[in-house]
Structure 1
Amino acid sequence: MNDLHATRFTLLAGGSDARTEMERAIALSESSACAHVFTRTMFDEARAAVAESAPESRLAGLAFTSKDLFDVAGQPTPAGSAVLAHAPAAQVDSLAVARLRAAGGVLTGRTNMTEFAFSGVGVNPHYGTPANVSDTATPRIPGGSSSGAAISVASGAAFIGLGSDTGGSIRIPAALNGIVGFKNTARLTPADGALPLSTTLDTVCAMTRSVRDAVTAHEILSARQVTPGSVPLSTYRLAVVKNVFLDDLEPVVATAFERTLATLRATGARIQEIELPELADLQVINATGGFSAAESYAWHRLLLERSGAGYDPRVVQRILRGAGMKAHEYIDLIHARRDWIARIEKTLAPFDAVVSPTVPITAPSIASVAPGAERDDEFFRVNALLLRNPSIVNMLDGCAISLPCHTAGELPVGLMLWHAAMHDDAVLAVALQAERALQK
């Protein structure tokens, strides 16, 4: 499947045209692979926009989708919920949507998500759950919370899936669907016009089909130029964190990760194993509920009073953890995080990037975690496993990218390259090199 760069080159060379590519995207959007992917489609508007597109623009009139929590002018912003389905329409596009449009992208629809972005599984009891594209025999979870955005990219219906990442909501579905998801340092991309989960941890970012497309999407969303460099992989110093990140790996994930490390070493990568004992502090730091619970409760408390019965009970359970947090506990949390970040950054300073499995498991079946109290224990077990590795990077205020590292015939496995805040360009540089090595 061609990525954005290859398709744009074909357009410029006259091998296709934007209208043909848009009709292909719409046909895939309407296919069975995209069942439950969209909460709203805009195909007629997309066809009209393509007629006005310029092939020399960065996105060349090609399709992108937007997670349901971003404002689109003239539409409500339900964020995967039923209680906001008939909310007042947004007056203007969110800044992220506006920037993608200004770069020549054409929005084809709003994508399904975990209600209010509060889980890494991707199950939605209101709009249905889109199935992972990797297995047509057993419907598997898409990962969340940016579930529909991931399937839109993985199925070929879009070149960019705009989403958000609070604890892994871009990287988890990217890993489970075998695509690329880049979570930049949060401050680099604006959250204007995006319904929040946690104002401290939320990051506006995207999923794509390749690392080079991730660079393009990030440059557009952040309005900055990436300077990844072109030095060989052997130039970089990489770390593997042995504790927590490698715990309880499913055999297929462990095999793919070890195979990937061997491939990178054969390419010349210098990889050193390290420990981060500070990871043990996270349970104590977040003991009172953490940022997502406190900040989501602050946003939802009045809506819960009016319409709580319309929420997904699993989402309500997590939001209500924030109801009991006291002001001094929230302030203590801010200070504890700042201290924790400083200690982690000191350990990571000698390295250009850290190499980890994105998540420790492959995608389980939708049936095993579908809505229903009898499956809650399994749902929360899977959710905790999926969030474990990627959420550490959010707590670090860091940046990370997930790219596929499985081989043909295996369920998708993600490789996560990450570091502390503002190391985005180095992480992307290593990712470009790693992707090249893994595709040989």
Structure 2
Amino acid sequence: MQDLHATRLALRAGQTSARTEMAHSVAVAGSPACAHAFTRPLFEAAGTEAERAGSGLPLAGLAFSAKDLFDIEGQPTPAGSQVLSHAPAARADAVAVARLRAAGGALIGRTNMTEFAFSGVGVNPHHGTPANAADATTPRIPGGSSSGAAVSVATGAAFIGLGSDTGGSIRIPAALNGIVGFKSTAQLVPADGALPLSTTLDTVCAMTRSVRDAVTAHEILAARRVGLTDAPLASYRVAVVTNTFFDGIEAPVDTAFHNALRQLRTAGARIEEITLPPLADLASINVTGGFSAAEAYAWHRLLLERSGAGYDPRVAQRILKGAGMKAHEYIDLVQARRGWIARMEAALAPFDAVLSPTVPITAPPIANVAPGAERDDEFFRVNGLLLRNPSVVNMLDGCAISLPCPVDGGLPVGLMLWHAALHDDVVLSLALQIEQALQNA
């Protein structure tokens, strides 16, 4: 499956056209592979946008999808829910949607998601759950909360899947579907027009088919040029954190990750194993519930009073945990996070980036975690494992990219490259080299 860059080259060479590419995207989006991936297809409008886009624009009329929590002019913004399905129509596109359209992108549809973005599993009881693109035999979870966005990219329906990442909601589905997901430093991309989960942790970002496409998507969303460097792989000092990130890891993930490390070392990478003592402090810092529950409850409390019965019970349960946080506890949390970030940044300062498994498990079958009280324990166990590693980066206010590890016929495994805030350009530069090294191994 060609990435955005290769397709743009084919367009310029006259080997394909925006109309042909859009026809292919629409065919895939309407196929069984994308069942439940879209909450609102926009195929006809996308075809018109593709025809009008200039070939010289970065996206040249090619398809992108948008998570259901982004405003699209003239449409309600349900965020994967039923309770907002008839909300007033948005008066304008979200900034991120507008920027992708201005770059020549054609919006193929709104994508399914965990209701109100509050889970890393990707299950939705209202719209159905899109199946992971990597297994055509057993329907497996897509990961969340940007579930449909990931499936739209992994199947070939979209070149860019616009989403959000509060605790891993871009990187989790990217890892489980075998694609690339880049979470930038949050402040770099405006969140205007995106329904919030946690205003402290939310990041607007995207999934793509390659790292070079991730660079392009980020440049459009952030309205800035990435300062890429061609420094050799051996010039970077990279850490692997041995505590926390490997707890509960499945054998296929452990094997794929360490095989990738061996391949990178063979290619010249300087990789050192370290421990990060501040990771042990996260549980006590978040003991009163953390940012997501408190800030989600502040946004949802009146809607829950009016329409709580219409919520996904698992989502409502997590939001309601924020009801008990006191003002002084929230202020303590803000201050504790500030100190924790300082300790983490000091520990990471000697390194250009950190490598970790994106998540410690592969995608389990949807049947194991489907809606139903009898499966709640397994759902929350899986959700906790999926969120644990990537949420560290959100708490750090950092940046991270998940790219596929080479696997020998197994389910996808994600390799996460990350660092603190505003290290985006180094992370992206190094990710390009890591991707190339792993493909050449």
TM-score after normalising by structure 1: 1.00
Q: Report the more deviating stretch, 46-55 or 157-166.
A: 46-55
1:206–1:217 CA contact under 8 A, matched in 2? yes
* Correspondence 1:268-347 to 2 at 5 A: 268-347=268-347
Contact 1:264 1:437 in 2 (8 A): yes
Deviation at 1:158, TM superposition (A): 0.2
The list of structure 1 runs, each at least 4 consecutive aligned residues, that deviate by more than 6 angstroms after superposition, is none
> Is the 1:112–1:148 Cα contact (8 Å) retained in structure 2?
yes
The aligned counterpart of 1:423 is 423
Q: Which amino acid aligns with 1:302?
A: L
Q: Which residue number corresponds to residue 214 of structure 2?
A: 214
Helix, strand or coil: the match of 2:199? coil
In the alignment, what sits opposite 1:353?
353
Shift, 1:408, TM fit: 3.9
Identity of aligned residues (%): 75
Distance 1:406 1:130 in 2: 24
Paired residue type of 1:337: R
| C-alpha separation in 2, matches of 1:218 and 1:211 | 10
Aligned partners of 2:406 and 2:438 also within 8 Å: no
Compute the displacement of 1:314 (Å).
Answer: 0.2
Gaps of 5+ in 2: none
SS in 2 for 1:110: strand
Q: Is the 8 A contact 1:163 1:205 kept in 2?
A: yes
Paired residues of 2:396 and 2:421 also in contact (CA < 8 A): yes
Question: What residue identity is the alignment partner of 2:112?
Answer: N
Note the C-alpha offset of 1:131: 0.1
Q: 1:265 — aligned with what? A: 265
**What does the per-residue CA deviation read over 1:44-63, in whole Å, with 9 as the maximum and x for residues that have no partner?**
11111112111111001000
The answer as to 2:150 corresponding to 1:150 is yes
Map of 1:9 onto structure 2? 9
Measure the CA separation in 1 of the matches of 2:267 and 2:232: 9
> How far apart in 2 are the matches of 1:134 and 1:196?
29
Give the Cα–Cα distance (whole angstroms) in 2 for the partners of residues 408 and 23 of structure 1: 32
The answer for the alignment partner of 1:400 in structure 2 is 400
How far apart are residue 277 of structure 1 and its match? 1.0
Q: How does 1:239-254 map to 2 (within 5 A)?
A: 239-254=239-254
1:352 is aligned with what amino acid? Answer: D
Q: Distance in 2 between matches of 1:36 and 1:207?
A: 18
C-alpha separation between the residues in 1 aligned to 2:196 and 2:272?
A: 37
Q: Secondary structure at the match of 1:252?
A: helix
Q: Secondary structure at the match of 2:39?
A: strand
TM-score by length of 2: 0.99
Give the CA RMSD over aligned residues. Answer: 0.5
Counterpart check, 1:40 vs 2:30:
no
Structure 1 match to 2:385: 385
Which amino acid letter does the alignment assign opposite residue 147 of structure 1?
S
CA contact (8 A) 2:130 2:141 kept: yes
Letter in 2 for 1:7: T
Partner SS for 2:271: strand
For the residue of structure 1 that corresponds to 2:93, the secondary structure is: coil
Shift, 1:114, TM fit: 0.1
Match in the other structure for 1:130: 130
Question: Given residue 242 of structure 2, which amino acid in structure 1 is its aligned partner?
Answer: K
Q: CA deviation at 1:331?
A: 0.3
Distance 2:51 2:274 in 1: 54
Aligned partner letter, 1:113: M
Alpha-carbon distance in 2 for matches of 1:43, 1:126: 22
d(CA) in 2 for partners of 1:192 and 1:310? 26
Contact 2:73–2:89 (CA under 8 A) maintained in structure 1: yes
Q: Distance in 2 between matches of 1:408 and 1:142?
A: 20
- 1:50 & 1:133 partners in 2: Cα distance? 25
One-letter amino acid of the structure 2 residue matched with residue 233 of structure 1: L
Partner residue of 1:363?
363
1:202 matched to 2:198? The reply is: no
Output the CA distance in 1 between the equivalents of 2:79 and 2:87. Answer: 11
Alpha-carbon distance between aligned partners in 2 of 1:248 and 1:48, rounded to the nearest angstrom: 48
- The answer as to whether partners of 1:359 and 1:385 remain within 8 angstroms in 2 is yes
Structure 2 residue identity aligned to 1:223: A
Match of 1:90 in 2: 90
- Paired residue type of 2:210: S
Alpha-carbon distance in 2 for matches of 1:250, 1:356: 14
User: Deviation per CA, 1:80-127, whole angstroms, max 9, x where unpaired?
Assistant: 000000100000000000000000000010000000000000000000
Say which SS state the counterpart of residue 181 (structure 2) adopts: strand
Distance 2:408 2:157 in 1: 22
Aligned counterpart, 1:232: 232
Partner amino acid for 1:40? Answer: R
2: distance between equivalents of 1:56 and 1:407?
Answer: 37
Which residue of 2 is the match for residue 193 of structure 1? Answer: 193
Consecutive unaligned residues of structure 1, counting only runs of 5 or more, are none
SS at structure 2 position matched to 1:245 = coil
Partner of 1:22: 22
User: Residue in 2 aligned with 1:56?
Assistant: 56
Q: CA deviation at 1:407?
A: 2.1
Letter paired with 2:353: A
Query: Bigger shift: 206-215 or 47-56?
Result: 47-56
Q: Secondary structure at the match of 2:401?
A: strand
Post-superposition offset of 1:26: 0.2
Tell me how far apart the structure 2 counterparts of residues 213 and 340 of structure 1 sit (CA, whole Å): 33
Q: 2 CA distance for matches of 1:252 and 1:151?
A: 22
Paired residue for 2:109?
109
Letter in 2 for 1:183: K
Equivalent pair of 1:406/1:414 in contact (CA under 8 Å): no
| Shift of residue 406, structure 1, vs aligned partner | 3.0
Hey, what's the Cα distance between the residues in 1 that align with 2:349 and 2:107? 40
Determine if contact 1:95/1:192 at 8 Å carries over to the other structure: yes
Deviation, structure 1 residue 137: 1.1
Q: For 1:44 and 1:314, locate their aligned partners in 2 and report how far apart those are by CA, in whole Å.
A: 35
Match of 1:152, SS state, is: helix
